[in-house]
Amino acid sequence: MEFMKISDRLQEWLENVRSFLQQEIYPLEQQPNRFDDIESLLNEKRRKARERGLWTPHLSPAWGGPGFSLMEFAHISELLGRTPFGHYVLNCQAPDIGNMEILIKHGTPEQHQRFLRPLINGDIRSCFAMTEPEHAGSNPVMMGTIAVREGDEYVINGHKWFASSADGAAFAIVMAVTHPDAENPYQRASMIIVPTDTPGFHLVRNIPVMGHAGRGYFSHGEIRFENCRVPRENLLGSEGAGFAMAQERLGPGRIHHCMRWIGICERAFEMMCDYAARRELAPGKPLASRQTVQNWVAECRAEIDAARMLVLRTAQKIDHEGDYAARMDISLIKFYVANVLQTVLDRAIQVHGGLGMTDDTLLAFWFRHERAARIYDGPDEVHKTRVAKMILRQYGAKI
């Protein structure tokens, strides 16, 4: 299985990343308020990551990266996913990684200079504003944010939320309707770059997620655009191409997410096994002696390994044949891995008992933060329907 092979170069990279995480990042997780006001500390770790040659592992050499394939980067993404800070310290975190990919492919030289280069350098952060509270996120052609062209400017009015990392971002890539009367609904929206200091750009709040409102990079912003004016030169790609460009970023983006989730699974699995082996129910009777716990350990191991193989196979297919050829595989991994993640976290918390409900471990953070894995980038139900239709059409079903 070619997709399971790891080159000597990649193996060296993985060892370097693993060493860096153990020395510099895992100790940060022990701090009581580990997600509050931590960006200055993380930025120091980012500087060290860059000095060790670990910066932007997703990019080609032309943009300062090592030039790994998507499948190779998937292995790195899994390793980084073992800690909430992993992707950020190597500057390959969402949503910046997707924004970099879109800007590289569709940005103008001026946009590269003003927005992309500082993003790659780690001088700024960005966000992506597409989801709206008034419309179903599972139907991306339903959108109320409008960008009207007036002379050499776009005037944007609308309402977005779950713009991840908007707090502190230098710019947003905004999906807005520019052609509301287009016959093809997939050609109505465009992507427009909006600096966050533009008059009319309002960060309303950081949305609490299951009772916890993150700040900075760990935030999810609600945004209002009120007669927000940006120059026409801030259009990304061509007018009406927003949906197509969004789809381009979703294929690799789902590989990034799924491998990050597998990294979380591996870390939670290790925590579960370690605690089960140490925690005694009675003298000489550890949790690990219970058959239910043993079943969970065996099932988790099988499910995590199966998920990894599915994702790596999909990444290889994208590398060799492109997103379109892998569209069913992309949907399969999205709902399958998200559910494996939920299952592994739930079992790990159950084994930890009351401790698992506290923030003394990372399990509670992951459980509340990653429940959204089954919703964002397309909910489970949409992906399952898509997969089923593609299969059934092969049997002649007219659906």
Of the two residues 115 and 209, the one the predictor is more confident about is 115
How many structural domains are present in the chain?
A: 3
Contact (Cβ atoms closer than 8 angstroms) between residue 210 and residue 224: no
Which of the listed residues 100, 121, 142 is the one where a domain comes to its end?
121
CATH number for the domain spanning 100: value is: 1.10.540.10
User: For position 377, which CATH number holds?
Assistant: 1.20.140.10
Q: What's the whole-model pTM score?
A: 0.94
What is d(CA 301, CA 305) in angstroms, rounded to the nearest whole number?
6
Q: Tell whether 86 and 189 lie within a shared domain.
A: no
Written as one string, the DSSP assignment of 177-226 is ES-TT-SSGGGSEEEEEEETTSTTEEEEEEPPBTTB---GGG-EEEEEEE
- Provide the 3-class DSSP secondary structure of residue 119: helix
How many residues make up the chain in this entry?
A: 399
Same domain, 226 and 153: yes
Pair 28, 153 in one domain = no
**Domain of residue 201, CATH code:** 2.40.110.10
CB 372 within 8 A of CB 342: no
Amino acid (1-letter code) at residue 354: G
pLDDT for 139 equals 80
**193: enclosing H helix or E strand:** strand 189-195
The answer to the question of residue 70 being in a domain is yes
Token code pair at residue 184: 């093809």
At residue 213 the predicted structure's pLDDT band, cuts being 50, 70 and 90, is: confident
Q: Are residues 248 and 367 in the same domain?
A: yes
Identify whether residues 54 and 152 lie together within a single domain. no
* Claim to verify: residue 72 and residue 130 sit in the same structural domain: no
SS3 49: helix
Please give the residue range of the domain that contains residue 82: 2-121
Would you say residue 214 has pLDDT above 90?
no
Residue 35 lies in a domain: yes
Report how far residue 263's alpha carbon sits from residue 75's, in angstroms, rounded to the nearest whole number.
9
Nearest residue to 245 via CA among 99, 118, 74, 58: 99
Residue 399 located in a structural domain: no
263 with 287, same domain? yes
Q: Tell whether 307 and 340 lie within a shared domain.
A: yes
Decide: helix, strand or coil at residue 146: strand
pLDDT in tens, 323-343: 889 999 999 999 999 999 999
Whether 157 contacts 146, CB under 8 Å: yes
Quote the tokens at residue 63: 């943009």
Query: DSSP 3-state assignment of 302?
Result: helix
Are 263 and 218 members of one domain?
Answer: no
Check pLDDT > 80 for residue 198.
Answer: yes
- 277-288: average pLDDT: 94
Question: Could you tell me if 360 and 313 lie in one domain?
Answer: yes
Q: Last residue of some domain: 121, 144, 173?
A: 121
Q: Of 210, 236, 262, which marks where a domain is finished?
A: 236
% of the chain at pLDDT higher than 90:
88
Phi, psi of 226 (to 5 degrees): -125, 100
Q: What is the pLDDT of residues 8-35, one digit of tens each?
A: 999 999 999 999 999 999 999 987 666 7
363-398 pLDDT, tens digit each: 999 999 999 999 998 899 999 999 999 999 999 999
Place of tokens 């997410």: 257
Are residues 169 and 127 in contact, defined by beta-carbon separation less than 8 angstroms?
yes
Q: How far apart are the first and last CA of the chain?
A: 34
Average pLDDT for the chain:
95
Whether residues 220 and 174 fall in one domain: yes
Average pLDDT over residues 262-275: 98
Same domain, 313 and 191: no
**398 in a domain, yes or no?**
no
Q: What is the dihedral of CA 149, 153, 154, 155, to 10 degrees?
A: -100
238: number of CA atoms within 13 Å, CB side? 4
